[in-house]
Amino acid sequence: MNISARIINQQGEHKVFLTTGEHRHSLVVPPKPEGFGSSASGGELLFLALATCYCNDIYREAGKRGIAVQSVEVEVSGEFGGAGEAARNIQYHAAVAARAPQEQILELMRHTDSVAEIHNTLRQPSAVVLGKCEAREV
């Protein structure tokens, strides 16, 4: 499955487009108050990706087990140092309410942690390569 994210940013405008396979949609992320760039930092979006992945995967894995999940809460936190430094001390906390015994819910949560794709991507990094570059004079 191919996934892509695209942004178009200029003074006072920040557009976000997401594509998974043939499914395309946009996401509202306002520009910074000063007009250039995104109001959400890359670190915030990275942590949102971790939280979203775990949340969605809980529902997926629960469905495979016949567990009816009522709600999921996920909070991801960590630290960034100076420019160019990787995040550190990333951790997350989750709460899942479901129609199942507590031990089954906890096992679902532990299993989901082991198969969550974004988590596993960060645990076993893959190369991130700058491809085609295009400079436009104005």
**Distance in angstroms (rounded) separating the CA atoms of residues 116 and 98:** 19
- Please say if the pLDDT value at position 77 is more than 90: yes
CB-neighbour burial class of residue 125 (10 A; exposed 0-12, middle 13-18, buried 19+): exposed
Q: Which residue type sits at 98?
A: A
Number of other residues whose CB lies within 10 A of the CB of residue 57: 20
Whole-structure pTM value = 0.91
* Confidence grade of residue 125 (pLDDT, cut at 50, 70, 90): confident
Mean pLDDT confidence for 57-61? 98
pLDDT tens column, 18-42: 999 999 999 999 999 998 999 999 9
Q: Chain-wide mean pLDDT for the chain? A: 95
Domains of the chain: 1-40 (no CATH), 41-125 (3.30.300.20)
pLDDT at residue 79, rounded to an integer: 96
Q: Which residue type sits at 67?
A: I
